[in-house]
Every structure is written in structure tokens, then in C-alpha cells.
Amino acid sequence: MKKIGIVGAGISGLVLASLLKKNGNYQISIFEKDNLINKNINGIQVSPNATKVLNKINFNIFDKNKFYSLNGINFYDCSSNKKIATMNLNYLQENSYIALNRNDLISFLLKEFSLNENLIQKEVIEIDRQSIKFKDNEKLSFDTLVIADGIFSKLRSKKNKNILYSGYSAFRGFFNTTYQKNHVDLWMGKDFHLVNYPVDKKQNNSFTLIKKMSKIDEISSYGFEIKNFYNDYKNMLPIGAHDIFQTSQVTVWPIYKMKNLYYGDDYNVFI
């Protein structure tokens, strides 16, 4: 039985672990340094192709009240505060375009294949071929290593020196409305755009604001909170987009780019 080490218990790491555990021919260990539920408080959109993959690990039995099938995308111009186009998604019959809370998807993946049995809450600080090293200097070896530790990956940056700040950062938060939205709203402005969408059937919504800005050097995790979001951005966004200011917490993180994509080598795989 091959030993597989997965570094990072985000969506990609847990989906891979679920597929491998369902197969039954692999001994799996998942390494994660953060609290899984608390670090992911935002929404995620799932395309029809992604749903087909998730259905292989029983997503078809996921609670339908905990996701929302999106009917379309409305495009808005921030300078005029007007809708400029609509893209209809109703043609997606077999597998719709859906959105849900990341926490709910992570909880489902952990429970469905009992992945807590495979989860080890330790920080990996170094990889050497098929071996990993922890902060306490303990080392473990595997037949294959999969590195899925997200945008703050120190392991990836050691392998690929061409990871650069893109000049843009992402602000994310949750808010509740008094009515049930059924579509994505995309607001486009100069050097920024805002996306918000429903994530369940309880009027809960998620938003992401992508903005050109200087990098905030203090950010080192997904939980970096912005305290004055409303005061800083109320004048930048048109009134039609102000429902996002109902959020109680906004986090921000940098968006990186790579000159050359690095997928790994003969000993490990980066996803």
C-alpha cells in the first residue's frame, strides 16, 4: 500500500484525500497547521465540471439547503451605477453552477470519508524529495508527496523563486440580505472589481473585492482582518453595491503570480 503525504487541508487537499481514501489502496496522511473551520469563512463557487468531480465523493448527498444554484451573472458599471449585461446560466441542466460556504464543504469532506482519522495538525517547514520536516525536527517519508498548502505556501516559494505579488489584493466577507438573491453580481471599476453571490437558501451571501494596492506586509494568513472597511471603501463603491457593508468581518490577503508554473518533480506534486 503506497504512502501518500498531503500538505494542506484546503479544498484541493481534502478532495484529493477523499478520492484516494475511497480507492482504498493508499495510506494517507494530511498535514495542516491551521484550524480548518475558522480559517475559511467565505463562499466558493463550484462549476459544473467541479461538481462532477465532487459527485465521485458523494457530493450528490450534500444538504441542498446549504448551497445555491445560480441562475446568472449580472454585470454592472461602477461609474454609472447601471447594469450593462446579463449572462443566463439556466442552460446548465445536468449540473448547475452553484455556490456554498467553504466551511460547509470542508466539514462535509472531513465527515464523509472520516478524514479526521488521517489529519495531523502540524506545520511542515521543509520538503526534501519524498520526506517532510516539522518544526520540532521530526521527519517522515512517503512514496509521494502532494503540496496543497495555498497562497501562503513557504514550501512552494522555496521551490519556485518566481512567485511575485501581482499588485492586487482580495477582500472577502459574508453578509445577510432580507431577500433571496439567485445570481452573481459583478461590479467593475477602475483598478478593482467586486463579486457577490448567495451561498445558501437562508439569504447568506459572500463577496470578494479585488483591488489594486500596495502589499500589506503584515499579512501572513487567511485571517488578517480589516477594521475600517466601510469608511475606507464606501465612496469607491456605488450605492447599489453597499449591501456588502452589512458584513461583520472582512479579511484580506495578497494575490500572487508566477512567471513559470511549478507542478513539482519526480518526488512531489504541487497543486
SS3 of 16, please?
A: helix
CB 28 within 8 A of CB 9: no
* Of the listed ranges 39-48, 86-95, 159-168, 212-221, the one predicted with least confidence: 159-168
pLDDT in tens, 9-60: 989 999 999 999 999 999 999 999 877 665 545 899 999 999 999 999 999 9
Nearest-10 crossing angle of helices 102-112, 11-23: 20
Closest by CA to 124, choosing from 50, 13, 48, is 13
CA distance 271 to 147: 6
What is the 8-class DSSP label of residue 48? H
CB 57 within 8 A of CB 149: no
Most confident range, picked from 28-42, 128-142, 156-170: 128-142
CB 211 within 8 A of CB 190: no
Count of other CB atoms within 10 angstroms of residue 71: 18
Predicted confidence band of residue 180 (pLDDT cuts 50, 70, 90): confident
* Of the listed ranges 44-58, 68-82, 84-98, the one predicted with least confidence: 84-98
pLDDT at 157: 58
pLDDT at 172: 93
For CA atoms 49, 52, 58, 64, the dihedral sign is positive
Helix, strand, coil shares of the chain, percent, nearest 5, are 25, 40, 40
| Chain-centroid distance, C-alpha 178 | 26
Q: What is the CA radius of gyration of the chain?
A: 20
pLDDT at 40: 47
Residue 158 has pLDDT above 60, yes or no: no
Predicted confidence band of residue 66 (pLDDT cuts 50, 70, 90): very high
CA distance 182 to 173: 18
pLDDT at 99: 94
**Which whole number is the average pLDDT over 223-243?**
90
Q: Which three cell numbers stand for residue 270?
A: 504541487
- With a CB cutoff of 8 Å and minimum separation 6, the contacts of 69 are 96, 97, 98
Q: Which three cell numbers stand for residue 204?
A: 447568506
Residue 161 has pLDDT above 60, yes or no: no
Cα angle 167, 11, 156; round to 5:
50
Residue 136 has pLDDT above 90, yes or no: no
CA distance 74 to 268: 41
* Of the listed ranges 45-59, 166-180, 247-261, the one predicted with least confidence: 247-261
**Which whole number is the average pLDDT over 256-270?**
74
